Structure 1
Amino acid sequence: MHKLTLDPATQFGWCLLVDDSNKPEEERRQVGQRLFYGTWDLTRDEDGKKCSRRGQYAWNLWHCFNALMRKHGIEGEDVEIILEGESYGSQKSEAGRRTAALWLAVLEMMCERKGLPYPRTCPPDNWRLAYIGCTKAPKEVGAGLPDAQRFEERRKWLKRTVMAECAKRGLRPKNDNEADALGMMFWLIRGGKEEQERRRNEKKAKAAAKRAQKKLDLQVAA
């Protein structure tokens, strides 16, 4: 199944991993030759005209998605879609909340019409932990600044760190939107949510076994 990860914004980051497994072995491409990424500028329509309304963003997303499928010849094939989950309640304005709710609704409509699996969401902390080994900037980043400035500095630190990790891997995203989509793809091909749950359960099981052993040791000592 093809995989598509998306970082939602009016500058919409995307990363596509094309699945060649149904092709003869000699026609299959290496992973690096099957990986594509870029940015959809949803503030411009197909004719390059400026857009500023949510309905226009929705149509532009629809057209960009279809164009990507056509370009890579994967229309009518299943695509696993992962969208970075934006919390509706975390948005600071009603306009932001409405836009955050827009992306998933549009994608679900497209999937319903095309018979594709519905998109899943991935919280930023999940893929960041897998990709850059942390979910938050170090405490010293932004220390002493007013809250709004401190938040912004910490956000920028995460963006720079993801960009730097992409560069280490030989990837060249043009902006942090593409970099985030690449980070999500790394998380997805390494097992995604299922692999994280497995590791979390293993960790819990080890901790429970350790507690049980300590309790047994105390009972024996008594």
Structure 2
Amino acid sequence: MDWLGPEEWQAVALSLKVSFWAMLASLPLGILAGFALARWTFPGKQLLNILVHLPLVLPPVVTGYLLLLTFGTTGPIGGALQKIGIVFAFNWTGAALAAAIMAFPLMVRAIWLSVEAVDPKLEQASATLGAPRAWVFATVTLPLILPGILAGAVLAFAKAMGEFGATITFVSNIPGQTQTLPSAIYAFLQVPGGEASALRLVAVSIVIATGALLLSEWLSRRIAARVRGA
């Protein structure tokens, strides 16, 4: 990407870093939530469903402000974490946290649908042979839902790359520290002569988003083909 300037490349690199860690850190919890919503029956299941999908309907600025109140240096969790050297507010780690929360519903939804597509009889057959639940999940369920997990991870990564409202509210727009790709586009549009840089970053965003959608669609077709062949 030699056609990108230093500031532009810095924003792209930071966005890739933030999106990768946002996706990776939330993946185990996403698998657990998707499996729980698809298979388990427990008190508060509807509440969990609401909490998982709430970031989709809340204004992103509201989510960012709630994160600031909770994980800021004076917040109940942020203040405690700061004592052991973990800081989220106005740091790239905070951008990753905000991006993970905003992308989490897409990840869980993809995993949820992939778990529902697995025939429970396959798992029951393994269980009747004496296999522990953890072994059944690792050897039967997990391989079958792997395309869904990958699709959810790809969608979450792409969503994290485009996250703006919650991120800028929680960690501001500090070049080199918290200025992700969308924040950089916004910043370039606020200064005279910044349209060219903003346009280049828009092109990068479109390429990444299109690639993610194509990959997710391919993985979804793999899931559908596997279900039809089952």
TM-score (normalizing by structure 1): 0.25
More helix by share: 2
The answer to which structure, 1 or 2, has the higher relative contact order (CA under 8 A, 6+ apart) is: 2
Normalising to structure 2: TM-score of the pair?
Answer: 0.25
Larger CA Rg, structure 1 vs 2: 1
